[in-house]
Structure formats: structure tokens, C-alpha cells
Amino acid sequence: MALDFERMVAARALLFVPGHRADRFDKAVASGADAVILDLEDAVAAADKDAARSHVDEWLSGGGTALVRINGSDTPEFEPDLELVAKHGCPVMLPKAEDPRVLARIEAPLLPIIETARGIEAATALCAVENVARVAFGSVDLATQLGVRHDDELALGYARSRLVLASAANGIAPPIDGVTTDLTGESALTADVRHARRLGFGGKLCIHPRQVPLVREGFAPTEEELSWARRVLAAGDSVSAVDGQMVDRPVLERARRLLARQ
């Protein structure tokens, strides 16, 4: 069953589930995630690929709703995966997106993961592909290629900002930040969410159900922000001052966007 395009655009917390673990599919949906991603790629060993496709096929045939992360275009699993998602009309998460021509081949709503140096450099062209709803950042893979820590904010700062700018330049929804691998507590996740939101990201990939509520809350406007937005709009459409700060058309637009996200 297809995931509504608007839900993809508005999603804040997207939860990965290994495709060979059918016992977790319904639990993932019950987590409260805005979207579930059934993973046929990194989470599934080569020996389990066929079984994973079978599990995903059966669950979707039963009425389940999810994105599907397929295997890369340079793998033998790519074509069978495409057949599966075409059968169900599923939105597709394509890993290691680098070539707009590959994206253009897929006749489905797309959420490419940009996670290589070539992908980062091609970000504007990738975001311009017609079926791309938004893009996601593959922080762990890119960090591995660059030889840096995947939790190093400075080392990956340029790549993150490049995706934010490429998305805005093409008029698509803000990108989705990569995963937080630290599952020992809430501090690392909270810090990662705060950093990503500050840069202009609109959501985050999750790898455990308990990450979902924190991510959803972290990317939602705060009560302070909503109160500010209401005061700004109450001041009218002409240039004015609110809380000692000038308010003109761009500030009014930011206020409207905040209120639309509550």
C-alpha cells in the first residue's frame, strides 16, 4: 500500500525496520513514527535478501503502509527490488544516490539517501528530479568514506548545509538527517536533533522505536516559537516591530510556516 506523498513531505521521524524481521513491522507502525522504512539494503545480509523481499511483499499485500529502502543500482538486487515496489506503488528510498538519471528511472515518489562525496556534489541535480519528495542524509556512510567520525558535527557540517540549500533551491521539503547510533540514552539524540534543526533539517531517520518521540518533539515548533509567530501575525502585514525586532515580509512568512507545522 502506498504511503501518502504529503505524509512523506511532512514526516519528522522515519523509522527503519530490517526487511527480514517481519515480526517488527507492526511494532514499528505502532511506535508513532510518521513513516516506516522497510529496509532491504544495509540491515539485510546477502543470504537474507530474498526472504526479506518476500516478507515485505506479504506485509504490503496485507495492507501495510511504508517506504521501502531498496538496494543500490549497482547491485544484482536492484531490479528485483524495483519490481517489488512497482507492484505495490511504494515510495522508494534509494541508497547512495549520485546520478539523477538513475532516479529518473524510478516511477515512484522518491526519498534518496545522499551519503557519498559524489552525491553531495550532485545534490542540486538530485533534488531537481521530478519524483523526489525530499532527500535524506547518510551521515555514517559519508563519514566512513571521508575518514571522519560520523558524530563529528564540524566534519559533516558542509555536507549537511549543502543538502539544506539544494532542497530549498529546488522548492522541496527540508531534508531528513541521518541516524544517531548511540542508543545508551537521550543526550546524544537530543543534541543531534537540535543541531540538525538549527541547520534547517526537517526530520530525522530513527533506528529504534524509543527514538521516535524525541525526534517528533524535537522537530516540532516550541510553544515559545508558536507564541512569537502569533504575535508577528497579529501585528499585520505591513512592516512593524515585535519584541523589539523589525518584522517584514520574510519574517511574516517564517511565522506562517511555524504555525503550519504545529
Q: How many CB atoms lie within 10 A of CB 72?
A: 17
Quick one: pLDDT at residue 238? 64
Quick one: pLDDT at residue 166? 98
**In the chain, which stretches have pLDDT less than 50?**
1
Q: Which residues sit opposite 177 in a β-bridge?
A: 204
Report DSSP state, residue 262: -
At 232, the amino acid letter reads: V
* 115 known ligand binder: yes
Q: How many CB atoms lie within 10 A of CB 248?
A: 11
Rounded to two decimals, what is the model's pTM?
0.89
Residues 122 and 138: their CA atoms lie apart, in Å, by: 14
Task: Give Cα 240 distance to the centre of its chain.
Answer: 36
Quick one: pLDDT at residue 127? 98
Domain 5-220 - what CATH class?
alpha beta
* 198 known ligand binder: no
Q: Name the grid cell of 190.
A: 537530543
* 257 known ligand binder: no
Cα separation values, 88 from 54, 65, 73, 171, Å: 13, 10, 19, 28
SS3 228: helix
Quick one: pLDDT at residue 185? 87
Residue pair 52/19 in contact (Cβ under 8 Å)? The answer is yes
Q: Who's near 86: CB < 8 A, 6+ residues apart?
A: 107, 108
Cα separation values, 195 from 5, 47, 50, 142, 218, Å: 27, 38, 38, 18, 10
SS3 246: strand
Radius of gyration for the alpha carbons in the chain, expressed in angstroms and rounded: 19
Q: How many CB atoms lie within 10 A of CB 43?
A: 18
Among residues 178, 225, 182, the alpha carbon closest in space to that of 201 is found at 178
Domain ranges in the chain are 5-220, 221-262
